[in-house]
Amino acid sequence: MPSAAHLKLFNSLTRQLEGFTPVHEGEARVYSCGPTVYNYQHVGNMRAYVFADTLGRVLSWKGFSLTHVINITDVGHLTSDADAGDDKMEKAAAAQGKSAWDIARHYQEVFEADLARLNVRQPAHPRATDYVDAMIEWGKAIEEKHCYRLDSGLYFDISTVPEYGRLARASTDDGEGRIDTVEGKRHQADFAIWRKTPEGETRQMEWDSPWGKGAPGWHIECSVMSAQLLGHPFDIHTGGIDHREIHHPNEIAQNQAHGCSADSGARIWMHNNFLVDRRGKMSKSSGEFLVLQTLVDRGFHPLAYRMMCLQAHYRSELEFSWEGLAAAFTRLKRMVMAVERHKARLAQKGEEQIEKPLEGWTYMEALDELGGALRPILVRFEEAVSEDLNTSVALTELEELLSLKKMDPQETLLALAAMDAVLGLDLLTLERADLRVRPKDAEITEAEIEDALERRKAARAEKDFATSDAIRDELAAKGVEVMDGDPLGWDWRLKID
């Protein structure tokens, strides 16, 4: 039986920590709202998936058989939360001279590559466009009791379900950001199930329906895909905190309309807070935004960003800064170097590392393997992640483990592997060389740097400080800072401005 006993998660529905009890014994089913693939995902968006992945990893680690879905919104999302405005996908297609389908495929590929770079395990990524028939069926099933038709499409009447908006803690008409731009809606918060293509226009993405040619509203896809892929009710639904206000209340309303009225579709709704910068929430509409590749271009390993996310609690705002990212990167480097030392001790003893199980360690398996001395650290680590995914405390437990010098290296590495199964930092396989990411605009190759450093070392050995200083200046001119006496023993780094 999985060790669910004390996994506590913050449920946005009740605004309380709740013990996790799965709907289906031994299983965990999780749905995370995925990206709208009309543009690149910024690093704020990626925080949402690092969070969802950490949750999934904790559930697997505790022995649940996990089914995780992150859907791909490749249709039906407008430029505002109101049901009017341009279709984002069609707008991007027009701007780039490509078909809406090509746009969606391209950005989906980039998204998936970014997930891989952040070690987000790859769950199922169903596309909304493959579920349009099912969305139409859902609309037909709820139309009579819960919807009304307007010239512009089919709308959901929020007064037909009990306690609309309880997730947002908002009364019927005062949800944030509601703009009554659709003529004829009965309540401001009513939303589109189907958006009819206006007379005389054609969309690249449109389908026949009982309400005319058009495209589905955004919210319906998540109700339909979560029901089909996970069954209602399922265990946990995740998303960014903005979804707590409109998208998820609307999903819940649709689920209530389709099934039993007390059923919100998922038992636990969890929301990550925003990544912010000095201007506020990082968002695509604000124009400039940071993508993972920008971080890599400036010399950061993608997992430095994962570390940055794990250092904060997912329910707290996290402010992005280059200094903060550099600090997270340094922390990752220190860990990698400590692991190197334990590996070296193991090699000295002529031993091989214990093979990790194919699916990665679970908590119980690791506990069974571990001798006495390291067990308390693993237990404390487990307690931290069980307290609503307190990864920042979990990281300090991991550092505590790495700092213990006299332990059997075999056991240390085993405990480390077990912890990293949750954190996903690749600590057993990352090497120093992997972390030396060359910025895009660097004017010098690593081989040239190493060569210059060798020459400098030789000069210093001969007390030829003039040559040594000249080499140092040469390197500095090319953006490489030589770090004599660097406590990390890193020798050099590329300058970050």
The residues binding ligand AMP (CB under 6 A) are: 33, 35-36, 44-45, 47-48, 239-240, 242-243, 272, 274-275, 281-283
Count how many residues are written for the chain. 497
Q: Report the 10 Å Cβ neighbour count for 376.
A: 11
Compute the least distance from the CB of residue 71 to ligand AMP, in Å: 10
Q: How far is the CB of 234 from ligand AMP (least distance, A)?
A: 17
Going by the DSSP 8-state scheme, the letter that residue 129 receives in this structure is G
Residue 391 binds which one of ligand AMP, Zn ion, none, with CB within 5 to 8 A depending on kind? none
Closest separation in Å from C-beta 165 to Zn ion: 16
Cα 59 to Cα 164: distance, rounded to the nearest angstrom: 30
* Nearest Cα to Cα of residue 36 among 251, 284, 229: 284
Write phi, then psi, for 480 (nearest 5 degrees). -115, 125
Residue 154 backbone zone (phi > 0: left; psi -120 to 50: alpha; other: beta): beta
DSSP letters along 39-56, please? SPPPHHHHHHHHHHHHHH
Nearer to Zn ion, 58 or 70 (CB): 70
Q: Are 282 and 276 in contact (CB under 8 A)?
A: yes
Q: What number of other Cβ atoms are within 10 A of residue 3's Cβ?
A: 16
Contact of residue 222 among Zn ion, ligand AMP, none (CB under 5-8 Å per partner type): Zn ion
**Angle 43-61/375-386 helices, nearest 10 degrees?**
120
Residue closer to Zn ion (CB basis): 265 or 424: 265
Minimum Å gap between C-beta 269 and ligand AMP is 12
Sign of CA dihedral 115, 60, 239, 416: negative
* 194 contact, one of Zn ion, ligand AMP, none, CB 5-8 Å limit per kind: none
Phi, psi of 206 (to 5 degrees): -150, 155
By a kind-dependent CB cut-off of 5 to 8 A, residue 275 interacts, out of ligand AMP, Zn ion, none, with ligand AMP
Cβ proximity to ligand AMP: between 107 and 363 the closer is: 107
152 contact choice in ligand AMP, Zn ion, none (CB below 5 to 8 Å, kind-dependent): none
Report the partner that residue 282 touches, choosing among Zn ion, ligand AMP, none (CB closer than 5 to 8 A by kind): ligand AMP
CB of residue 38 to ligand AMP, shortest distance in Å = 9
Q: Which DSSP state fits 87?
A: B
Which residue number, 192 or 222, has a Cβ lying nearer to Zn ion? 222
Which residue sits closest to ligand AMP, CB atoms considered?
240
State in angstroms the smallest separation of the CB of 33 from ligand AMP. Answer: 5
| Best CA proximity match to 48, nearest among 131, 127, 118 | 118
As measured in angstroms, the least distance from the Cβ of 79 to ligand AMP is 11
Question: Helix, strand or coil for residue 60?
Answer: helix
Nearer to ligand AMP, 37 or 377 (CB): 37
Give the three-class secondary structure for 142. helix
Residue 152 or 223 with smaller CB distance to Zn ion: 223
Give whichever of 248 and 301 is closer to Zn ion, judged by the CB atom: 248
Task: Give which of ligand AMP, Zn ion, none residue 22 binds (C-beta under 5 to 8 Å, depending on kind).
Answer: none
Min CB(144)–Zn ion separation in Å: 25
Task: Kindly list the residues in this chain that would bind Zn ion in the complex (CB under 5 A).
Answer: 33, 222
Our CB check for ligand AMP shows the closer of 73 and 410 to be 73
Cβ atoms of 192 and 221 closer than 8 Å:
no
Cα distances (Å, whole numbers) of residue 388 to 18, 245, 393: 9, 21, 11
Partner touching 274 among ligand AMP, Zn ion, none, CB below 5 to 8 Å by kind: ligand AMP
